[in-house]
Structure formats: structure tokens, C-alpha cells
Amino acid sequence: MGNKRMKLKVRHYNVDTSEPTVLMNDSDCVELGVKENDRVRVEGKGVATALVSRTDSLVKPGNILMPSNTMAMSKVKAGDTVSVEYSPAPDSVRSIRKKMDNEILNKDEIHGVVQDILDNKLSKIEISAWLTSLYINGMCIDEIADFTTAMVDTGERVNFDRKPVFDFHSMGGVPGNKITPIVVSIVAAAGLMLPKTSSRAISSACGTSDFVETFCNVSLDSERLKEVAEKTGGALAWGGAMHLAPVDDLVIKIEHPLGINPRAQMLASILSKKLAIGAEYLLIDIPMGKGTKVPTLEIARTYARDFMDLGEKLGMHIECAITYADQPVGAAIGPNLEARECIRILEGAEHPSSVAEKACDLAGIILEMGGIRNGAQRAKDLLDSGEAMKKFREIVRAQDGNYDIKSDDLKPGMYMAEIKSPKSGYIHAINNKNIVTIARTAGSPNDKGAGIILHHKKGQRVEEGSVLFEIYADNETKLKRAIEAAERHNPVDIEGMLIRHVMAPNVMR
Amino acid sequence: MGNKRMKLKVRHYNVDTSEPTVLMNDSDCVELGVKENDRVRVEGKGVATALVSRTDSLVKPGNILMPSNTMAMSKVKAGDTVSVEYSPAPDSVRSIRKKMDNEILNKDEIHGVVQDILDNKLSKIEISAWLTSLYINGMCIDEIADFTTAMVDTGERVNFDRKPVFDFHSMGGVPGNKITPIVVSIVAAAGLMLPKTSSRAISSACGTSDFVETFCNVSLDSERLKEVAEKTGGALAWGGAMHLAPVDDLVIKIEHPLGINPRAQMLASILSKKLAIGAEYLLIDIPMGKGTKVPTLEIARTYARDFMDLGEKLGMHIECAITYADQPVGAAIGPNLEARECIRILEGAEHPSSVAEKACDLAGIILEMGGIRNGAQRAKDLLDSGEAMKKFREIVRAQDGNYDIKSDDLKPGMYMAEIKSPKSGYIHAINNKNIVTIARTAGSPNDKGAGIILHHKKGQRVEEGSVLFEIYADNETKLKRAIEAAERHNPVDIEGMLIRHVMAPNVMR
């Protein structure tokens, strides 16, 4: 049975929408048997498949309104005539329905959904239903493994000649987690290869790439990543410059407004990027603490088990480290401030430091995966001896940065405010989320000088009037707003005082 | 803390999108802290809240691309400058998240979601997540009752002076179900008032309004509905002409591409329209059979229980009738053909008939709800005596139709094909879905003459070469396509012959 078709005159509107759409008159839609959000096949010299919006007034019968992307696909210009007919939804919609019904999907079905999202064949409505179903009904480990390989197969791969490939990933959620350049430098200094790709902040204060780019170029394509890593043993690249598991970027746009990150999506997203660069040994850092993705040890252990089970299915050796994340890592939050603190540790100037300890512990696990005994001690030695710093300089130079980089090259923002303690006492808690809010309000991660420096951490004693933390910004307005944010979202809970419940203008000086 | 804002120059694109959107440059979005599918508040002389699409090329920094609906809301024209800032998602998104997490929502939360869908404040992504969550996690009876009243409260109401109000609803799914005018006429002839609102076909072959409009005006507003029903005791209106529970129409646009109709949504949708006209006594017809929404008795009973429980919560007396729906009701499918068969029964010409029996049984239940004893017999008497036909004429006249209407006024389409039996045997099944496909392909419900007349029903003996059914169409092309559809989707299963699995061109003459 052939579908109904009709000839319609093209009109143009000059904006691309994120999904291919056309606007048609109600009567033409009734004639074609097309309902709102159905698809039509629009044939000119080329063919476009587009979602239909219906109107009883904006388009006259016999006409079709097309945005430029749909016009380009069907190779027509305004005034041309196109042939339009109902087009069924792609098969992947059936797979989405199955997941709604809590059925297990096979490899082909999962691949179909991933490919169709990537090819812009699924509408926002359908992707939202997919993610909501994943969030509610979840996936079993076999499905997540298939999901991971589907994400890899639909993207770029990097094939290293030097082997094996070590890799490292932090699940994030804890501010100030500037350990990556230290870990990479230590591991590379030990003679292993760790071509690290990182992300920028989505909702956090500062992603690894956000602060690494303050001292070198992070936009490496896959060729450059290979070159830098095979030469130096390390790399500090921004993953977004490559097309590893590119469907992830599209999915994030739909996850974000729903405020969800389904477990299956998160696991597949992390592992696909590692699989795409051929990682054989992978360490996952699972920061656990209030206000992070992993608030309890039970959840942390579940993630660890998931990662290790998936590693087995995917042929990757995965180990996990559950780390302390009840407060920021180290003292600095924000691009230049984190870069400075990170490099100071490599320079040997800031020992003892929780940042150095965490970095050496994690690097140590990677060294042991690579057959090096007493990994943590070896890592510490490489840091203390300056060999890690030397390796760091090599990597920075390979990524177009200055070999002679010094921590003091990284400058805090021009505008600064000190936030002082309204009373004496012990610091009971530092709220990660509020720290992020203040840092972002100050301009982080886009304003490179913006951020926070904590003067005290959890458990420490502070006296009335002593500085709790400093806020830095690149312009005055943002500093003022960040101060206001600090008033509203007090991040430092001092024992015995319900500062959280008080709008205390006298907190400020 | 104030949100970030910026001044942007307006550009215009001349199409309305279904949800208010704006297109902004990436760098401006980063500056405002706005991600794809976040909302911004756009202030000109007025204020619009719109979803953001981001681009790195289509809009230059400092500009904002706005469709006409967003421009109208913010009261600006091209070239004006607007103030733009991040706008948080409405509170109802939190309620959607709660439903994703399978929590029970309270009355205010449910009302918030319904109101925000109606006010176009929720995006397609969010509405899709809502419906997917409803589909998977469902609602308890208390929630559905709140959902129902929320749908009523956000729409129009009709307040009848004449009381009580009786009503009737068929869950549908069975083709040829032309009983409504007969039921309404009988009930009204018995002195009760049943102001029936019906729908048009969405995916079925022919809705009640699709065939009633072949002989009278169905587009009554609520004033006219009141007038017609209070005068005649009946009405045969199209619900879509009023704004009873208007959110339903918006939700259907999102449900449709997902192919779902969550139970909670379906129940609330049906009952809200009845509650909005003040129905006190309601009969629900639950057609049960293969290829309908209700394939088994167990499911039918669950629906019946739901309806009755809801009736109790909502203060409506609800009874349910589970009816036979394994094959079409009566012989005719399609607007004119159904109208003709329906009126023939009112004329007394087509007894005995399964349509007449079903209509009298259902009307009888309504009469008994109204305190009339031996309802089914009384209904049959009113039909046989011609009183129902007289009442029907009154209703038709009140709705601008011809009082002297005759069944033969309704003409089948000009083009007809007979589909004949390829062998002798007993009819084992008639497939409702295939009947619908053929009737729609022939042009039903928009081409009023299009449709099908079945010559035999389930269980009957047919001889080789005898006519199984006729297809009617208003034009030759559609008739040909419908014949092809009949070949592909054979609706009549004759015992002992796997006609379903055979592409049998010799089925056709």
C-alpha cells in the first residue's frame, strides 16, 4: 500500500531548529493522515524526513513551511514544489516502547536507538521518553555493555601504537578536584602511557579542561592526542575536541532540563570514551560525600561493582577507588586558582596537602596495575624528586604551553573579597553545592581568574573575624553577586551556630 | 542573588513554534549560564519565557532570534533590544521528577503540572517525561481523582438548569460502534436528559462526531449544548467545540508519537469531560476484544473497578458495561455508511440487529439508573414504537439538521469494490485493526462516503466467490489503495485457510 502524497509549495523560514521540522496546514495533514509530531518524507531533488507541526492559520493549504536544514536536506529552495507523504517513525521508537515496558533490549535494538539519536532521527519527545524509561526501568549489565559499545561504534576511535593504554576517570561532583595533571604526570614519569581526556564543567565549578587550558592547549584532535601521548606518555586533552561517543553530547541536552542522569547512560558514557581510545587498564575515582552523585558508601560500592562487571564484559581491567568528598579537594576552586594549586604541588611547595595525597594514592593504584610494586610510595617518590614536574613540563610543551611554567604565572582575579567568621568555633561542614554556586556566580569557569580559596577545612578551629574563604572575580559586578550568593548560600557551617538559617549581613566586610 | 542578564538585539523569524523558543549564540549562553533547553526570561515591553536553542553560527553574539509568538509575548519588534536572563524551570518540573521517582503527588502538584502544560510552560521534553513516568509508574486512585478535577478546573464547565445530567461514554476501539445516537434518542425519549459530547476519530476509522456531522451540526458551543439538551433531552455534540478539559488536546500531541495512553491519563481524560458538564449518572461502555484497548476480561474488570472507584471519589454514580468487541459492531464502517445503518435502526427497518441490541441494553442501564424499571425492555419499546426516532428528529432539528431525515439520504461513496471469498468455510475472525486500516485508506473519516460494509460476520458460513465485504470510496485512487490494503491486511479469517499468510491477488475481482 502506498502512502498518501501531495504536492506543496515551499516557503522558507530562516532559522534552523534542532530537529528537522515542517509546518503544514491542518487540512493538508488530515488529507495525508498526518498528526502533530508525526513524520513526513519531503522529496525535492533530495529527501528530508521531518516532524510535522500543524497550524490552521500560519500556513495556507498547499504550502509547507520549511526551515533551512530541512530545505537543504530535500535540496529545494523557496518557491519549489516538493512531494510530501507520511513517513513512519524509525524502528528505534519500538525499542523505546520496549524499554518503557521494562523489557531487555538486544544489541541491535540498543545500537539502533544510539544511531538514530546521533542521526537526528529521533525527536526530543522520543529521546525524553527513552531517558525517562532508562531512569525508571534501568538496564542490566549486558544491556549497558551493549550500550557502551554502541556509543563507541558510532564515534571516532584512537588507535595507539604504544601499548598498553592506561586511563583514569573521576566521577566528579567534588569541587577543587585538581588531581588529574598530577596523576598523569606521575604515571607518565613512571614510564606508562596515560592519554587523559577530560571534560569541561557542565554544572560544576570548574572541569579539568577548564583549568588545564589556562596553561596549555587542550583542543587536541585524535591525531594530536596520539602524538602527544606516545611521545610523552601523558596528555591532558579536552575530550570534546574529538568525536569519542558523540551521541553523549546530544543526550546531555535532553537530560539536563529533566535533571536526570540515568545510571545506564552515565556508565556507558564514561566507559565508551575509555573504550574508544583503547584503554586496557582503567582506574575509576568514585568521590563519595554529601552533595555529590555518590552520597553513601552503599551507592559507591554499587557503582564500583557495576564498573568492574562492565569491565569484564568489555575486556577492560577496571579498578575503583572510593575517595573522600565531603568537602572540596584542596583549597582552591576556579580555573587559575586550581591550576596554581596543582602546579605548586608538582613544584613540591605545598606538602603536606590532601591534593598531593589523593593524587599519589590514585597514581599508585595505576602504577600497580602496570606491574610496579609499592605504587603509592613510588608515586610519592616521583612527585618529591621533581620527575613528575619534569614530565608535566614535557606534556605542557607538547600541548603548545610554556615548558618553564611556574605556579605563580596563574593569576587570581583582580577583584577579591574576604569572607570572615562571625564567631569562634570548629568547622562542622563545608557544603560542596554552595561552594559551586558561589564560584560560578563569581564567573568560574569562563572567567579564568574567578573562584574561591578556602582558608580552613572541616574540623579546623576558627576565631571570630578570621577569614573563612576568599572570593575572586574578574569583574566587580560578579564579585558583588558572588558575595550576595555567599550570604544566601553560606557554605561553611561552624559548629553550634545556625548560620545557615540567618541572613547575616555582618558575615561580610 | 540576581540572575545574569544581557541586552540583545531582536531578530525575527516568521514562524510560530509549538513551544516558545529563542535561538542564541553559544558565547552569550555561556555568559548567562544558560544551557540548551534551559529557559530564559526575555523582557521587552512585555515578558516572555522561552526555551533556549544554542548555535555557534546562526546567530551572532549580542543578537537573539525570536519567533513571532515569543516576540508577541515580550512585546517587541525586530531591531528592538530585550533584556535576557536565565529563568528557572517551573515548579511542576519537580513534580514530574517526583513521578519519575514513583512518588505519590498531591492535589496541588498535579494541578500545577496540568496548569503548566495548558499554559505552554512545559517543554515537549518535560511533557514526554511526565507521560512516560505516568505510563511506567502510574497513579493511585486518589491521584487520578485529583488529576481529573485538575483537568476540569483548567477548562470550561457547562451548568445545566435541568437535572439530573445522565451521560454515557464508550472506551472505543471497536469499529462500526454507531450506537450513540440510538442510546441518546431512547434515553431522551424516556424523559431523561443526556447531553452527549463525542470525539472525532484519532486513529480509528470513524468517531461518533465524524458520522453524526453527516446529518447535523455537531459544533455546538456550551451555550448551544445546554439549549439543545434542556429542550430535547438529548444532544449529539462534538466535545472539541467546547473547552472541556482542554489540556487533553495538548497531551495527545505528545502521547501520539510515543504510542502510549497512560491509564491515569486515559481515565482522567474521560471523566474530566463528564465532570465538566456536571454528569451525575454515567454509564461506561467497555468494549472488550482482540485488537481493542481491552483485550481480556481481566483488563476490562480492572477498568470497571477503576471507573467505579473514581466515581465514588468524584461524587458521580458510575456503572460499567463490558461489551463484545471481537469484531465490528453492525455491518457498516465509515461516516455515511454508519449514519445510514444507525438511522435505519431508528426507522425500525433493520431488526434484528446487534447494533439495536447493544443500544437497547446500554440505554436500558441508563434508564434504570434514572429509576425506570425493566430498562432494557422499556428501551426496546421506545425504539420499536418510533418514539426514539421522533426524539432523534427533534435533536437533529435542534442541531440545524433536517427533521425529515431518512436513512437513504446518506449516500455511500461513488466508487465501490466487492471483496469475495476465495473459498468456502466459516468465518473464524474479523480483524478490527485491519478493518480500520482499509476504511482509513479508502478515505474515512474525512471522505464521508468512504468505508466498508461487511456482508458476513464471525461464525457465518460463506461460499467461494460470495461477497465478504464491500469497500466504498469518494475517489478512484483511494478505492484502489484500499483494495491493495485489503490484499495486504486481510481482515476476514476463513476457517482452515491461512489467508493471512498469503499474498492472494485472486482474492480480488
* Angstroms from B101 CA to nearest CA on chain A: 7
Contacts of B33 in chain A (CB under 8 A): 440
Contacts of A38 in chain B (CB under 8 A): 256-257
Residue ranges of domains in chain A:
5-87, 92-138, 166-240+268-407, 415-507
Q: Are the Cβ atoms of A102 and B446 closer than 8 angstroms?
A: no
Mean pLDDT on B493-507: 48
* Angstroms from B400 CA to nearest CA on chain A: 24
What CATH number should be reported for the domain whose range is B415-507?
Answer: 3.90.1170.30
Mean pLDDT on A319-346: 94
Supply φ then ψ for residue B384, to 5 degrees: -65, -35
Residue B32 pLDDT class (50, 70, 90 cuts): confident
Mean pLDDT on B308-334: 94
Between B117 and B35, where is the model more confident? B117
Contacts of A484 in chain B (CB under 8 A): 1-2
Q: Residues B95, B110: contact at Cβ < 8 Å? A: yes
Supply φ then ψ for residue B353, to 5 degrees: -150, 140
Helix (H) or strand (E) holding A79: none
pLDDT score of B350? 67
Q: What DSSP character marks residue A507?
A: G
pLDDT score of B22? 86
Place of cell 452527549: B196
pLDDT at position B10 over 70: no
Using alpha carbons only, give the angle A294, A300, A304 rounded to the nearest 5 degrees. Answer: 130
Contacts of B66 in chain A (CB under 8 A): none
Compare CB distances from A123 to B97, B123, B257 and report the shortest one's residue.
B257
Closest-CA residue in chain A for B133? A132
SS (H, E, C) A244-280: CCCHHHHHHHHHHHHCCCCHHHHHHHHHHHHHHCCCC
Compare CB distances from A100 to B123, B124, B136 and report the shortest one's residue.
B136
Contacts of B18 in chain A (CB under 8 A): 36, 53
Q: Residues A431, A437: contact at Cβ < 8 Å? A: no
Mean pLDDT on B420-446: 91
Q: Residues B175, B204: contact at Cβ < 8 Å? A: yes
pLDDT at position B274 over 70: yes
**What whole-number distance in Å separates Cα of residue A453 and Cα of residue A451?**
7
pLDDT at position B8 over 70: no
Closest-CA residue in chain A for B14? A13
Residue A442 pLDDT class (50, 70, 90 cuts): very high
Q: Are the Cβ atoms of B440 and A33 closer than 8 angstroms?
A: yes
| N-to-C CA span, chain B | 78
Q: Residues A166, A281: contact at Cβ < 8 Å? A: yes
Backbone dihedral region of A88: left (phi > 0), alpha (psi from -120 to 50 degrees) or beta?
A: beta
Percent of chain B past pLDDT 70, that is, above it, reads 93
Compare CB distances from B136 to A31, A125, A137 and report the shortest one's residue.
A137
pLDDT score of B509? 31
pLDDT at position B435 over 80: yes
SS (H, E, C) B69-108: HHHHHHCCCCCCEEEEEEECCCCHHHHHHHHHCCCCCCHH
Residue A496 pLDDT class (50, 70, 90 cuts): low
Contacts of A23 in chain B (CB under 8 A): 15
Mutate to test the interface with A, among B28, B66, B96, B125 (most CBs of A within 10 A): B125
Cβ atoms within 10 Å of B94's Cβ, excluding its own: 13
pLDDT score of A64? 87
DSSP A268-325: HHHHHHHHHTT-SEEEEEEEESTTSS--SHHHHHHHHHHHHHHHHHHT-EEEEEEEE-
pLDDT score of A3? 53
* Angstroms from A71 CA to nearest CA on chain B: 15
* Tens digit of each residue's pLDDT (9 = 90 or more) over B85-126: 888 899 999 999 999 999 999 999 999 999 999 988 999 999
pLDDT score of A377? 96
Q: What DSSP character marks residue A243?
A: T
Compare CB distances from A125 to B33, B135, B257 and report the shortest one's residue.
B257
Outline where A293-409 has alpha helix (H): 297-314, 335-347, 354-369, 375-384, 387-398
This model of the complex carries an ipTM of 0.84
Between B243 and B499, where is the model more confident? B243
* Angstroms from A22 CA to nearest CA on chain B: 10
**What whole-number distance in Å separates Cα of residue B202 and Cα of residue B186?**
27
Instruction: Could you please state the CATH topology (level 3) that the domain comprising B5-87 is classified under.
Output: Barwin-like endoglucanases (2.40.40)
Q: What DSSP character marks residue B423?
A: S
Q: Residues B351, B171: contact at Cβ < 8 Å? A: no
Q: Under CATH, which architecture does the A166-240+268-407 domain have?
A: 3-Layer(aba) Sandwich (3.40)
Q: Residues A287, A173: contact at Cβ < 8 Å? A: yes
Mean pLDDT on A332-343: 97
Q: Are the Cβ atoms of A136 and B131 closer than 8 angstroms?
A: no
Q: Which class for B210: exposed (0-12), middle (13-18), buried (19 or more C-beta within 10 A)?
A: buried
Question: Can you state the percent helix, strand and coil of chain B, rounding each to 5?
Answer: 45, 20, 35
**What whole-number distance in Å separates Cα of residue A85 and Cα of residue A4?**
6
Supply φ then ψ for residue A369, to 5 degrees: -60, -30
Compare CB distances from A125 to B31, B53, B258 and report the shortest one's residue.
B258
Place of cell 533530495: A46
Closest-CA residue in chain A for B255? A125
The set of cell numbers assigned to B232 is: 430535547
Contacts of B35 in chain A (CB under 8 A): 202, 253, 256
SS (H, E, C) A173-227: CCCCCCCHHHHHHHHHHCCCCEEEEECCCCCCCCCHHHHHCCCCCCCCCHHHHHH
**What whole-number distance in Å separates Cα of residue B71 and Cα of residue B69?**
5
pLDDT at position B506 over 70: no
**What whole-number distance in Å separates Cα of residue B475 and Cα of residue B448?**
11
Residue A508 pLDDT class (50, 70, 90 cuts): very low
**What whole-number distance in Å separates Cα of residue B460 and Cα of residue B330?**
14
Mean pLDDT on B28-56: 87
The yes/no answer on whether domain B166-243+256-407 falls in CATH 3.40.50.1000 is: no
Compare CB distances from A16 to B31, B58, B257 and report the shortest one's residue.
B58
Q: Are the Cβ atoms of B128 and A132 closer than 8 angstroms?
A: yes
**What whole-number distance in Å separates Cα of residue A441 and Cα of residue A425?**
28
Closest CA to A250 of A117, A428, A62: A117
* Tens digit of each residue's pLDDT (9 = 90 or more) over A174-190: 899 999 999 999 999 99
Closest-CA residue in chain A for B136? A100
Mutate to test the interface with A, among B11, B12, B15, B137 (most CBs of A within 10 A): B15
Q: Residues A383, A352: contact at Cβ < 8 Å? A: no
* Angstroms from A137 CA to nearest CA on chain B: 8
The set of cell numbers assigned to A322 is: 572510593
Mean pLDDT on B296-304: 93
Q: Which is it for the CA torsion B480, B482, B486, B492, positive or negative?
A: negative
Compare CB distances from A37 to B35, B55, B257 and report the shortest one's residue.
B257
Using CA atoms, how far residue A485 sits from A185, A412, A471, B195, in Å, is: 36, 19, 11, 59
pLDDT score of B66? 83
Contacts of A488 in chain B (CB under 8 A): 1
Answer yes or no: same fold for A5-87 and A92-138: no
Closest CA to B358 of B103, B208, B230, B177: B177
Average pLDDT along chain B: 90
Q: Which residues of B271-280 are buried (b: 16+ CB within 10 A; e: fewer)?
A: bbbbbbbbbe
SS3 B229: helix
Closest-CA residue in chain A for B135? A100
Superfamily of domain B92-138: Transferase, Pyrimidine Nucleoside Phosphorylase; Chain C (1.20.970.10)
Compare CB distances from A126 to B31, B100, B258 and report the shortest one's residue.
B258
Q: What DSSP character marks residue A429?
A: E
DSSP B134-163: HHHH---HHHHHHHHHHHHHTS-----SS-
Q: Residues A158, A197: contact at Cβ < 8 Å? A: no
pLDDT score of A10? 53
Compare CB distances from A100 to B36, B132, B254 and report the shortest one's residue.
B132
**What whole-number distance in Å separates Cα of residue B156 and Cα of residue B153?**
8
Using alpha carbons only, give the angle B384, B386, B390 rounded to the nearest 5 degrees. Answer: 150
Q: Are the Cβ atoms of A446 and B31 closer than 8 angstroms?
A: yes
pLDDT at position A195 over 80: yes
Q: Residues A39, A51: contact at Cβ < 8 Å? A: yes
Residue A498 pLDDT class (50, 70, 90 cuts): very low
Contacts of A31 in chain B (CB under 8 A): 446
Lowest-pLDDT range of A49-53, B384-388, B492-496: B492-496
pLDDT score of B399? 98
**What whole-number distance in Å separates Cα of residue B91 and Cα of residue B504?**
58
The set of cell numbers assigned to A104 is: 531487555
Q: Residues A117, A248: contact at Cβ < 8 Å? A: no
Closest CA to A25 of A83, A82, A65: A65
pLDDT at position B439 over 60: yes
Closest CA to B42 of B97, B86, B88, B100: B86
Between A5 and B166, where is the model more confident? B166
Highest mean pLDDT among A82-91, A144-153, B164-173, B480-489: A144-153
Compare CB distances from A124 to B30, B35, B124 and report the shortest one's residue.
B124
Using alpha carbons only, give the angle B134, B135, B140 rounded to the nearest 5 degrees. Answer: 55
* Angstroms from B63 CA to nearest CA on chain A: 13
Average pLDDT along chain A: 90
* Tens digit of each residue's pLDDT (9 = 90 or more) over A17-62: 567 888 888 888 877 888 888 899 999 899 989 999 888 777 888 8
Q: Are the Cβ atoms of A35 and B253 closer than 8 angstroms?
A: yes
Strand order in the sheet with B281-288: B166-170, B281-288, B317-324
* Tens digit of each residue's pLDDT (9 = 90 or more) over B262-271: 999 999 999 9
Contacts of B254 in chain A (CB under 8 A): 37, 125
